[in-house]
Structure 1
Amino acid sequence: MSTLNIGLILPDVLGTYGDDGNALVLRQRARMRGLDAEIVPIKLGEPVPDSLDLYCVGGGEDTAQILAAEHLIKDGGLQRAAAKNTPILAICAGLQVLGVSFRAGGGIVDGVGLIDATTISMQKRAIGEVATTPTGAGWTSQLTEKLTGFENHMGATILGPDAQPLGKVTHGIGNADPAAVEQAGVDVSQKVAEGAVQGSVVCTYMHGPALARNPQLADLLLAQAMGKELSDMEPLDIPVVAQLRKERLAH
């Protein structure tokens, strides 16, 4: 691989919460290891190439979600990339858009369908710090460190049988509050579920950006993009990142 190409999906509509920073983190961590890495932004109305090495999808509001879902469904590029087992990271609204359906604009909107998940509404917004223990689902089985982020959403995401949670909540709300889980009539384990893993797609409600706060997850994504194991990645000693994690995990 001469250049690691990181696709940044629809930053013009799904860039509300600074989640574009995830692509920056990936590029920087790759470059710090001597790898050539570039960010390829794909804006609304532009085709999504299925030939990139890694994709990032960020968060946004209702109108942005609807526009993003319509574009991605019609284009099909991200779906073709997923079929090639290319790693895809989706944050918050990105999680909802890549699901089967989500609520936005007062109605139910079809999602891209890369994650077996439906998003309904919660009565109270989930906002604040969230921390989880990795579940080891799918290719995230290599994760050993706690995950940390900032959640801010009104959507309650319920996972279907083909998707597994990325993490088990130890602090915060996660995908859905207990009332929404009970309303959906699904397994009570979803009361502590956060994020989703299915195929090559990993999703989370964690902002921060998520990869700045979870360097092990960033390195796992890079490893997957290069066809390597996490253990193959040369460790990076960045004291400020270690200090940030220590502060955010001190609940």
Structure 2
Amino acid sequence: MSAWLPSAPCTPRACVETPAAVPARLVPRAVLRLTGVALLLLAGIALLPLGGRIPAGLVRRWCRWIVRAAGVRVRVTGATAVPTGGLLLVANHISWLDIPLLAAVRPARMVAKTEVRRWPVAGPLAARGGVLFIDRDRLRALPDTVARITHALREGTAVAAFPEGSTWCGRAQGTFRRAVFQAALDARVPVQPVRIAYRLAAGPGRDAGATTAAAFVGDDTLLASLWRVATTRGLIAEVEVRAPIPPGGHPDRRSLARSAQPPEAAPAWTHTVLVA
């Protein structure tokens, strides 16, 4: 394991709450949800040639629509204003849902592993959308990756990254890796920390509480994760936009990464098996 290729101990079998067999009467709803997600992604691909001519507000709404289409409600709290211009947007990483949730805070060029290029539908969308791909197997490629991120930030672009380097189930979280924060220091731009969590809504026969149903970890497949999200009842994505960290306040990337790291949550975990 390298500093650029961290691994999380989370696995689907050990960490993820798996829904019970979905009743046949609820299957059409789940299929409809996934169809809605696919159609929104395809619409995004079709509109990509318009590039920066698409209003940022429309992009944010489109990202929320993707999450809502999957049957997930969104709650955004915290800072009401996000800096304009060059900005490093960072968040903890639990699910594929984190990507549209982070873009809903502010549209940005994503930093993603090269494997994302091979994902169906989402891969072409990412490539055409200006994603900054990183080769996590080659540590020697790290300086060039940091230089490309720095260049984008200096041009006034927002860049979004998940500095944990791997997805975690949400019960525990990883440490923010320092490399991407060097780009913010070099470009002298603010850092916008965001904390993402997933909960279940209270309802008949169940209590509200944090859940791992949205987690996309270990050897989990994207299709399995999509189906689990679409069939989980009362799933809520909570997005906490923390205060931005202005440039010049931290002497090195270690200090900056530590300041941006979200506090470890201590939720009342529930293992209730739910279906939509």
**Shorter-chain TM band:** under 0.3
Q: What is the TM-score of this pair, normalised by structure 2?
A: 0.26
Q: What TM-score does the superposition give when structure 1 sets the normalisation length?
A: 0.27
Q: Which structure has the larger Rg over C-alpha atoms?
A: 2
- Select the structure that is richer in helix: 2
The higher-RCO structure (CA 8 Å, 6+ apart) is: 2
